[in-house]
Amino acid sequence: MTPVIDAQRVSKWFGEVVAVNNLNVTIEPGVTGLLGPNGAGKTTFIKLCLGLYSPSRGTISICGESPRNNMRIMRRIGYCAETEKFYENMTGFEFVYWMCRLRGLRPGPAKTHAEDAMAFLHMDHRMHEPINNYSRGMRQRTKIAQVLATDSDLIFLDEPMSGIDPEGREDLFNLIQEWGRQGRTVIFSTHVLYEVERVTNNVLLLYKGCVLAQGEIRQIRELIDEHPHAVTVECRDPHAVASIFAPEPATLGVEFADGAVTVRTKDPNAFYQKLNDLVINDHSAITGIRCPDDDLQSVFDYLVR
């Protein structure tokens, strides 16, 4: 079976800047989380898939065809860009309606699709107002509404959660999951691991334009659990707390600051269990906990050292 997206030895550079470097990626139907910190090459990869960029080297195909200047492929794609460019005096409804018309829908169906999409994103009560009156979250909902309205079977969402309130995020999580159940192909770009975990088990990890890993989310979680964690414990007596954790074989180091101790451990589960016991036995001893290493960026940093 031909993969939906097939990139072979793809590189893209802009002058001396290498945005993606020798990517070999295949993506099948379903939801794929495109993970990476800012500058990892996520947006460049998406624009290569959209045919907005040509590879500097290598080949990329969508459903077996080159996407560059290919209207057959373009008609199948929905795209929510990270950045936005609106005609500010146009209403949200008009924006979505004309995106449907550009896809070839006749006026009646285009109107219905636009109204339904705006209602699903809770924008029906404001959809006839000019976009320049919209908040950041409302503008983001409008961008997503035009993807929903065009009923595409290949969908690219570049940082779609940006600026959306908790209710809207929940709606979008559910929508992405539903698209996946329908057998559509969804590429969901983000730098937040939690967002991907909500909608899919399949991830593609990019870092500085290179593929670090591709596979199930549990593999990424295993990478997180393997790398040393730094946990900062704010407490009444940092030296007393440090004396509890320092003898542990998994403890790699201890650092002190005003009213806090940072413990580096290679066994975070055991650390948190002991910390829980400490809080239960003396709840006044601990005033706060911060886990600066419990995030995706720290995993990338650890993997490329």
Inter-CA distances, 146 with 34, 59, 112, 252, Å: 21, 29, 12, 51
Residue ranges of alpha helices (H) inside the chain are 42-50, 71-74, 92-102, 107-120, 136-149, 166-181, 193-197, 217-226, 238-245, 268-281, 296-303
* Strand order through the sheet with 251-257: 251-257, 260-265, 229-235, 286-290
Q: Residue type for 219, please?
A: Q
* Angle between helical axes of 92-102 and 107-120 (0-180°, round to 10): 130
Q: Residue type for 112, please?
A: T
- All residue ranges of the chain with pLDDT < 70 are 1, 220-227, 283-284, 292-305
The whole-angstrom separation of Cα 209 and Cα 47 is 13
Q: What is the pLDDT of residue 182?
A: 95
Q: What is the pLDDT of residue 284?
A: 62
Q: Is 263 exposed, middle or buried (0-12, 13-18, 19+ CB in 10 A)?
A: buried
Q: What is the pLDDT of residue 223?
A: 65
71, 27 contact by CB (below 8 A): no
Q: Is 38 exposed, middle or buried (0-12, 13-18, 19+ CB in 10 A)?
A: exposed
Domain 5-222 and domain 227-303, same fold? Reply is no
Nearest to 5 by CA among 59, 55, 83: 59
Q: What is the pLDDT of residue 303?
A: 60
Domain boundaries defined on the chain = 5-222, 227-303
The whole-angstrom separation of Cα 303 and Cα 207 is 10
Q: Are strands 77-80 and 154-158 parallel, antiparallel or unpaired?
A: parallel
Three-state DSSP class for residue 44: helix
SS3 percent helix, strand, coil of the chain, rounded to 5, is: 40, 30, 35
Q: What is the pLDDT of residue 282?
A: 76
Instruction: For domain 227-303, give its CATH number from 3.30.70, 1.10.3470, 3.40.50, 3.30.1490.
Output: 3.30.70
Check whether domain 5-222 has CATH 3.40.50.300, yes or no: yes
pLDDT digits (tens, 9 = 90+) for 146-177: 999 999 999 999 999 988 888 888 899 999 99
Inter-CA distances, 180 with 164, 237, 285, Å: 21, 51, 47
The whole-angstrom separation of Cα 230 and Cα 225 is 12
